[in-house]
Amino acid sequence: MTLLSLKDVTKAYGGVPALKGVDLSVAPGEIHALMGENGAGKSTLIKILAGVVAPDHADIRIDGQPVEIGSPRQAHRLGFRFIHQEFNVVPALSVAENIFMGRQYPTRGGLFVDWRKLNQAARDTLQKLGITHIDPSRPLGSLSLGDQMLVRISSAFIGDDGAPARLYVLDEPTAALNRGESERLFTVLRELRASGASVLYVSHRLDEVMAICDMATVVRDGRSIDTRRIADITHDDLVTLMIGRRVEEAYPPAIAAPRAETVLAAQDLGIRGGRNVSFQVRAGEVLGIAGIANAGQRNLLRTLFGDLAATGGAMTLAGQPYRPRSPADAWRAGLGYIPRERRSEGLVLSRPIFENTTLPHLAAQSRWRTWLTPPREKRAASEQGELVRLKASGPGQRVRELSGGNQQKVVFAKALLGKPRLLLLDEPTRGVDVGAKFDIYSIIRDMAAGGMGVVLVSSDLPELIGMADRIAVMRDGAITDIVAAAGLNEERLLNLCYGR
Ligand SMILES: Nc1ncnc2c1ncn2[C@@H]1O[C@H](COP(=O)(O)OP(=O)(O)OP(=O)(O)O)[C@@H](O)[C@H]1O
Ligand SMILES: [Mg+2]
């Protein structure tokens, strides 16, 4: 029995094919993974299902009956619910308003919004995900990224207005979630499956796909390659299907050992909401920062890149006293920063790649802004794009048109263009496919070999162990251990994070 069947879906953007022939069928009561490298066409396929993008050709059937999906409203009526990859929320509006955006708000006498009812309805919706700690009347923008994501996800689970939900489509829902938050979502997905609904699930986290999905369809370069039962395949099989070759190793070896000279030294540095920390990063060294969620990593990073004032202590950067009063100050002093949430913090989606990569560097590009010529910017952007192996049609392409993983590479290109002495990376490989991950790791190795110091904050423990020279463990706002990564295993590191 088939709930949804897609055959021979094709789509080109401005003559460039994004989908060249995708087949997919989803049975009732199954969690079906849609896998593929960055740019393979997953989100495009999902937007076609959602009635947001019109396909060039598609045979779409529900329960065997051909259907047309001409608009999001139609998709909704067919029983489809979506969590798209882009963050389309309004931070200034309340949590409740964001959850019910585009729907009928409850009213009093048909005229005035009944806020009490709206907030209660939002509370009920959040409750379905087991969330009780979020106040629906707060502005969405005041919540942590993980909580914002949970709010977005919950909007897919609003009670049905006439059209019962049959298929939930989630495009990388866990990219901004920590382990605990992800687990909550998985519990809900399993409940939905038990109730007979289906889920189409996109994620680059293979372990998560192996754990919660029943089936996987792999797309490569715009074509569906294969559909397999998860129970019948291994993690490595899935990787091979996705990138078309076996991956020998996950992490490139270090090119050079860290040098003796210190790039960053922090002495009794006072972190707001945390404690004083002392540590050093040497030239060519990758210092990993580990810890469970909210152990103080975020405020430490913000203090390093000038977004949060230190409450005491001192730092030096490349031998000079360093006390940035703003991120711009930090850039000037030689610090590069790659934020966790690339879309809201790192990119202007509506602008071309070259503007996004050169934005914080205008001063370095030309003494007077009026002299600034786009060709020069474009050349710099092309060079940087090559460095990060960006897949784009050219430096003039709008960032919005890039796949998620390639947007992440634009953020990298931007950080590297300033030739920083110290590079701060906050979860740099979230939402990035296995092939692009290796590219990013290789870039980090190259930069370190050139003498850059790197601070890598990651919740991916194997990534920390694989890439860092030393790992600083944070707990309750303090650095509790600094250990060599060589010889460390995941279990030991996890125990350090939990203080066992
Ligand atoms: N609006 C657009 N205009 C032009 N090209 C686009 C547009 N949207 C997507 N593309 C291109 O279509 C291809 C497929 O992109 P898509 O976003 O579907 O990839 P994806 O599989 O979701 O990747 P990721 O894992 O990085 O999110 C990419 O080459 C992308 O650059
Ligand atoms: Mg995508």
Q: What is the pLDDT along the chain (500 residues), one digit of tens a residue?
A: 899 999 999 999 988 899 999 999 999 999 999 999 888 899 999 999 999 999 999 999 999 999 999 998 899 899 999 988 776 678 889 999 988 887 777 778 777 888 888 899 999 989 887 888 999 999 998 888 778 888 888 888 776 665 678 999 999 888 777 778 888 889 889 988 998 999 999 998 888 999 999 999 999 989 999 999 999 999 888 888 887 776 667 888 888 899 999 999 999 999 998 899 999 999 999 999 998 877 899 899 999 999 999 999 999 999 999 999 998 899 899 999 988 876 666 788 888 888 888 766 544 444 444 445 567 777 777 777 777 778 888 888 898 888 877 888 888 888 887 789 999 999 888 878 877 788 889 889 999 999 999 999 998 888 999 999 999 999 989 999 999 999 999 889 988 988 87
Distance from residue 20's CA to the centre of ligand 2 (Å): 16
Atom of ligand 1 at shortest range from CA of 204: 25
Q: Which ligand ends up closest to the CA of 401? A: 1
Which of 347, 401, 433 has most ligand 1 atoms within 8 Å of its beta carbon, as the pocket-test mutant? Answer: 401
Give yes or no for a contact between 445 and 252, defined as CB atoms under 8 angstroms apart: yes
Cross-strand partners of 418: none
Distance from residue 431's CA to the centre of ligand 2 (Å): 9
Which of 9, 13, 217, 224 has most ligand 1 atoms within 8 Å of its beta carbon, as the pocket-test mutant? Answer: 13
Residues with CB under 6 A from ligand 1: 13, 18, 36, 38-44, 85, 401-405, 433
d(CA 70, CA 412): 37
**216 CB-near residues (< 8 Å, 6+ apart):** 32, 33, 34, 35, 209, 227, 228, 230, 233, 238
Half-sphere exposure of 268 (CA within 13 A, CB side): 2
Per domain, the residue ranges of the chain are 4-243, 262-498
- Measure the N-to-C terminal CA separation of the chain; round to a whole number of Å: 50
**Which structure tokens are listed for 112?**
């005035």
Q: Which ligand ends up closest to the CA of 37? A: 1
Distance from residue 408's CA to the centre of ligand 1 (Å): 13
d(CA 413, CA 385): 6
CATH 1.10.10.10 given to domain 4-243: no
d(CA 409, CA 387): 10
Which of 10, 22, 44, 56 has most ligand 1 atoms within 8 Å of its beta carbon, as the pocket-test mutant? Answer: 44
Q: Could you check whether 4-243 and 262-498 share the same CATH topology?
A: yes
Alpha-carbon distance values, 15 to 7, 12, 55, 393 (Å): 21, 5, 13, 12
Residue nearest to atom 5 of ligand 1 (CA): 401
Q: Which ligand ends up closest to the CA of 20? A: 1
Distance from residue 403's CA to the centre of ligand 1 (Å): 4
Give yes or no for a contact between 418 and 384, defined as CB atoms under 8 angstroms apart: no
Cross-strand partners of 219: 224
d(CA 274, CA 475): 9
Residue nearest to atom 28 of ligand 1 (CA): 39
* Alpha-carbon dihedral 91, 72, 178, 268, rounded to 10 degrees: -30
Backbone phi and psi for residue 280, each to the nearest 5 degrees, phi listed first: -135, 150
Q: Which ligand ends up closest to the CA of 431? A: 1
Task: Name the CATH code of domain 262-498 (choices 3.40.50.300, 2.60.120.10, 3.40.50.150, 2.60.120.590).
Answer: 3.40.50.300
Half-sphere exposure of 96 (CA within 13 A, CB side): 19
* Contacts within 8 Å (CB) and 24+ apart, 220-224: 220/36, 220/37, 220/40, 220/244, 221/20, 221/40, 221/41, 222/17, 222/18, 222/19, 222/20, 222/21, 222/22, 222/40, 222/41, 223/19, 223/20, 223/21, 223/22, 224/21, 224/22, 224/23, 224/24
